């Protein structure tokens, strides 16, 4: 994939506004995958989890709305919370555990990401697609030991 003529990647943080803005300018669609990862770190570092997820999404949406770029936002099945209803439905009520448990910082921050993306659509007409992923794993994800913050964009 790295050798494909239309593929480009930049290693940086999603909150680096100048770099992110330049990347958004060069793309047709923004696929926002940047987030805090690793159960242990999410439980032990809820502040970092919330800041990484919410601020990262805010920066992506702000840069994307300027150029009216479509944003595909990766959310999580954790947003379904403690629901026992199967199958899950996007318009079901959300039941989240107590705020004393750090584990819920991830679910809540990703729910805020969704609310923010939908608000950008409603108020600023930014085209957004939200995908709630289940159990993703792959290269670059340091399971249980680190953070994976990435944004992938398609080049023109």
User: What are the catalytic residues?
Assistant: 106
pLDDT tens per residue, range 80-114: 888 888 888 888 888 898 888 888 999 999 999 99
Mean pLDDT of 114-141: 86
Instruction: For domain 17-155, give the CATH number.
Output: 3.40.50.720
Q: What pTM was estimated for this model as a whole? A: 0.81
Provide the b/e sequence for 104-123 (b: ≥16 CB within 10 Å). bbbbbbbbbbbebbeebbee
| C-alpha to C-alpha distance for 103 and 45, rounded to whole angstroms | 9
Please state the domain extents for the chain. 17-155
């Amino acid at each position: 994939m790295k050798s494909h003529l239309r593929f480009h990647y930049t290693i940086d943080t999603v909150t680096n506004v100048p770099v992110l803005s330049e990347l958004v300018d060069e793309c047709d669609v923004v696929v926002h995958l940047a987030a805090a990862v690793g159960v242990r770190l999410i439980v032990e570092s809820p502040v970092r989890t919330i800041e990484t997820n919410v601020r990262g999404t805010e920066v992506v949406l702000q840069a994307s709305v300027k150029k009216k770029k479509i944003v595909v936002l990766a959310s999580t099945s954790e947003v379904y919370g403690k629901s026992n209803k199967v199958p899950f439905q996007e318009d079901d009520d959300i039941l989240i555990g107590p705020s004393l448990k750090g584990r819920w910082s991830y679910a809540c921050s990703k729910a805020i990401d969704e609310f923010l993306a939908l608000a950008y659509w409603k108020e600023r007409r930014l085209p957004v697609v939200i995908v709630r992923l289940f159990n993703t794993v792959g290269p670059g994800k340091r399971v249980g030991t680190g953070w994976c913050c990435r944004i992938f964009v398609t080049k023109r």
